[in-house]
Amino acid sequence: MRPLFTFLFFFILCCGYGQSVKIYNPDADVSSAISQGLIRAKSENKHLLLQIGGNWCPWCLKFHKLCADDQEIKTLISKSYVAILLNYSKENRNYAALKKLEYPQRFGFPVFVILDSNGKRLHTQNSAYLEEDDGYSKKKVLDLPGLIAMYTVNPARLLKLNRGTLSPGAPADVTLIAPGAEWTFDKAASKSRSRNTPFHGWELKGRAVRTIVGGKTVWAL
């Protein structure tokens, strides 16, 4: 498995790709970069995305190139995240920062960590799940953060509501999802008043298993 994941503080450096490419800076002041990134994330109502890797890592460079070259991915990231590149190399392993992030390097590189605007870790993404053949799957890269944002922070941002985030002090409105759960859709068991559906009998994967509103469970499977 290769080391992976970071979303930018808007300083993705687009310079050619190969062994000589230097997109990660071993001398960067990571603590300051994260602090400034959180200030920006709070002001823009976004999350902070840390893409952790090094110039020695070909898979880190592949992921960076995909994000730099693909406009759809670049737009998705810029709408929902402030992104920062966090270096991990023999010159500087940034152990102090990684300890605070609960040791994401255990997943290999690149690895991605998402923080809310208060610095709370929301998610650590193992990049191996985004791989396809000898590169990364655009669909997989777009699906996970895009799907989460589509049903959480994006609607809240449009309606100017303090929702869609797990930040301390925010309303505890949460839907728990079991992405690997397999089930069959039965229109008779649907909570909808309408029974007109083309999905009756479909074998599906992934479903909601619990809904929490204001910190209290209001529905559970």
Q: pLDDT per residue over 46-59, tens digit each?
A: 999 999 999 999 99
Question: Is the CB of residue 48 less than 8 Å from the CB of residue 123?
Answer: no
Question: Is the CB of residue 98 less than 8 Å from the CB of residue 105?
Answer: yes
Segments making up each domain of the chain, as ranges: 30-156, 174-220
Q: Is 75 exposed, middle or buried (0-12, 13-18, 19+ CB in 10 A)?
A: exposed
Average pLDDT in the chain: 83
Place 148 in a pLDDT band, splitting at 50, 70 and 90.
Answer: low
CATH topology of domain 174-220: Urease, subunit C; domain 1 (2.30.40)
pLDDT (mean) for 57-78: 93
pLDDT at 177: 83
CA distance 88 to 167: 27
Domain 30-156: CATH superfamily is Glutaredoxin (3.40.30.10)
Residue 40 in this model has a pLDDT that exceeds 90: yes
pLDDT at 1: 41
pLDDT at 146: 63
Higher pLDDT, 122 or 32: 32
30-156 and 174-220 share one fold = no
pLDDT at 20: 61
